[in-house]
Amino acid sequence: MATLIVIVILLIDQTIKLWVKTHMALHESIHVTDWFYIAFIENNGMAYGMQLGSKLILSLFRVVAISALAYYVWLQVRKNARTGYVICLSMIVAGAIGNLIDCMFYGLIFEPSTNYDVAQMVTFGEGYAPFLMGKVVDMFYFPLIVTTYPEWSPVYAGEEFIFFSPVFNFADSAISVGVVVLLLFFRKEISDISFKRE
């Protein structure tokens, strides 16, 4: 079951990313509703575009973290852990792998995306970045509330305020949902985390 969840999430994530990468120019957006846009951006960092030090170090850290978490999921499956717990862990693993795939291969197989042209695929290894240095494709943008700070505000007076401004991808969503559900319903399992075989 865990393997199937990972495969399904990866297929959905990569299908969306590849479509966006090969059909949209960088920073192009598609208006779906006033509170939902498909907005193509790329980032070098972690989920929701956060940055954390060197790109290479971040990518290598991802490889180590994913390997450790995948091993832990395997242990939980072997000991017949609760189904919901395994599902949440599998979602997190799948999301992390989805973003790692971008870093590993997109730089090798695509030319750079620009504000004017849609990126084209190139011969493997002739893309815009070396192995592990590719950029992560993001596209989901939900500006639920767009307004301005009041003029009397002590900070940002009159400036635009957007509630929920991050642009993210399906892999980020899988990670976030998995983490939130774990924290809400599987605190006991989290407190008992061990990488020892039983």
CA separation for the pair 34, 23 (Å, rounded): 22
Nearest-10 Cα torsion for 62, 188, 71, 63: 0
pLDDT digit string (tens) for 166-184? 999 999 999 999 999 999 9
CA separation for the pair 50, 103 (Å, rounded): 15
Question: Does any domain span residue 144?
Answer: no
Mean pLDDT for 123-137 is: 94
pLDDT at 47: 53
pLDDT at 46: 58
Catalytic residue among 13, 34, 117, 172: 172
Local structure of residue 121 (DSSP, 8 states): B
Catalytic residue among 13, 34, 138, 192: 138
Question: Does any domain span residue 165?
Answer: no
CA within 13 Å, CB half, 194: 7
State yes or no: is 102 an active-site residue: no
Q: Give the 3-state secondary structure of 22-45.
A: HHCCCCCEEEEECCEEEEEEEECC
Question: Does any domain span residue 146?
Answer: no
Q: Quote the percentage of the chain above a pLDDT of 70.
A: 93
Question: Does any domain span residue 150?
Answer: no
Domain span at residue 187 reads 2-31+43-137+170-191
Question: Does any domain span residue 67?
Answer: yes
Question: Does any domain span residue 89?
Answer: yes
Higher local confidence (pLDDT), 197 or 83: 83
Question: Does any domain span residue 175?
Answer: yes
State yes or no: is 138 an active-site residue: yes
Count of the separate structural domains present in the chain: 1
pLDDT at 196: 62
Helices (H) and strands (E) in the chain, counts: 6, 6
Contact 142, 35 (CB under 8 A): yes
Query: Is residue 46 classed exposed, middle or buried when 0-12, 13-18 and 19+ CB atoms within 10 A define those classes?
Result: middle
Say how many residues make up the chain.
198
Question: Does any domain span residue 111?
Answer: yes
pTM: 0.87
pLDDT at residue 163 is higher than 60:
yes
